[in-house]
Structure formats: structure tokens, C-alpha cells
Amino acid sequence: MFGIGGWKQVGATFDMKRQAAIREQLEQAGIEYQVKVQNRLKSGGLSGNQRARLGSAGENAASEREYLFYVQKAEEEKARRVIESAGR
């Protein structure tokens, strides 16, 4: 879905409020986007991950989910400008 067909990652954040602001700005700019949410503490997969190796003790719950933003390649530069302005 994301690596095929011209989708490019244009941003990432762990902050829920920031991801909401980015979504709002992209929608207002009329930019089609996709968000992939990665749960960094979820166990699974063949090699496991951080939680499988280390457990969850001492982990910051706020950094559990990472939000990755993707847009069509043709909208990449516009989206980067919009995301940058959402951070102000």
C-alpha cells in the first residue's frame, strides 16, 4: 500500500495531539493521506521486538504508538510544508 503506487512518508510523530493537528492541516489543504500506526510495544513477528526482548517496565506509554504519514508522491512537497506549518 505505502511503498507501491507512489506513496511517500512525509512525517512521523509519537504525540497524539500533534498527529491530530497534522491530520487536520492535511485535510484542510485537500491532500489525500494515509496514516500507519505502529505499536512499538506489541509483541509478535519472527524476531520479536522491544517488548518481547525487554518487557514493558520503564517504558513511556506516550511513545507506545508511532503515527507515520504518507501522501502521494505528487503531493509530497506541499504536504511537507503543511506539516511543518502544523508544528508552529
| pLDDT recorded at residue 64 | 85
CA gap 26, 20 in Å, rounded: 10
CA gap 9, 22 in Å, rounded: 13
Interval 27-76: pLDDT, tens: 999 999 999 999 877 655 555 555 555 555 555 556 689 999 999 999 99
CA gap 47, 53 in Å, rounded: 9
Interval 7-36: pLDDT, tens: 999 999 999 999 999 999 999 999 999 999
Backbone angles phi, psi at 52, to 5 degrees: -65, -35
| pLDDT recorded at residue 31 | 98
Burial code (b: 16+ CB inside 10 Å, e: under 16) for 61-82 equals eeeebebbbbbeeebbeebeeb
| pLDDT recorded at residue 66 | 95
Domains and CATH numbers, the chain: 7-86 (3.30.70)
| pLDDT recorded at residue 69 | 97
